[in-house]
Amino acid sequence: MPGSYIPSEYLPVFITLVLGTCFAVGALVLGELLRPRRPYAEKLSIYESGNIPVGEPRTRFDVRFYVIGMLFVVFDVEAVFLYPWAVAFGNIGLLGFWSMIFFLAIILVGYLYDWKKGALE
C-alpha cells in the first residue's frame, strides 16, 4: 500500500549502523577512562616537523581538485545509470541497448573534451 511502506529490509542495516557507531564511541570513551592525560603547550601544538607552525594551515589548494570533484559527479551518475540498465538488460530490447550506447557516446565526447582541455592532468 503506498504511503504505509516500511522498508523492513533496511531495519538490519539501521541496527548495524547504530551498533557500529556505539562501538566507535564506546571504544573512545573506554580509552578516555583508561589513559593518562598530561598535556602541556608544546605537546598540544600542531606538528610541523618540529618547527613552530607557520601561517594558516587551511591554505588555498589547487583548483584542479574541484575539477576532479565535478568530474566525479558526472561519471558517478553515469555508473549509476549503468546499473539498472545492466540488471534489466534481458528485458529492454534493442532500443534500451542502443540508448545506453548512445548515452556512453555522449559521455565519451565530454570525456575527450576534458582530456584535451587538460582537466585530467
Partner 1 sequence: MELLVTIAKTVLYVAAVFGVTLLHVAYATYFERKVIGRMQGRIGPVEVGFRGLLQPFADMVKSLFKEDIIPAAADRTLFFLAPVIVVASVMTSLAVIPFFNNGAIANLNVGVLFIFAMASLAVYGIIVAGWSSNSKYSFFGSIRSAAQVISYEIAMGISLAGVFLMAGSVNLNDIVLAQREQPLGMFAVLQIVGFVVFVISAFAETNRTPFDLPEAETELVAGYLTEYSGFRYALFFLAEYISMYIMAALIALCYLGGWALPGFVTRALPFLEQVPGIIWFLIKVYAFMFFYFWVRATLPRYRFDQLMAIGWKILIPVSVVNIVITAFVKRWLM
Q: Give the span between the Cα atoms of 28 and 59, in whole angstroms.
A: 30
CB of 37 to partner 1, least distance (A): 6
Neighbour-count burial for 58-73, b at 16+ CB within 10 Å, e otherwise = eeeeeeeeebeeeeee
Does 10 engage in binding with partner 1 (CB under 8 A)?
yes
How many residues of this chain bind partner 1 (CB under 8 A)? 64
CB of 53 to partner 1, least distance (A): 8
Does 109 engage in binding with partner 1 (CB under 8 A)?
no
Closest CA to 53 of 65, 69, 41, 35: 41
Does 5 engage in binding with partner 1 (CB under 8 A)?
no
CB of 113 to partner 1, least distance (A): 13
Does 11 engage in binding with partner 1 (CB under 8 A)?
yes
CB of 93 to partner 1, least distance (A): 10
Q: Give the span between the Cα atoms of 6 and 16, in whole angstroms.
A: 18
- Chain positions 33 to 62 lying near partner 1, rule: CB under 8 A, are 34-39, 41, 43-49, 53, 57-59, 61
Q: In 6-51, where do the E strands start and end?
A: none
* Cα dihedral 29/34/36/41 (nearest 10): -10
Does 83 engage in binding with partner 1 (CB under 8 A)?
yes
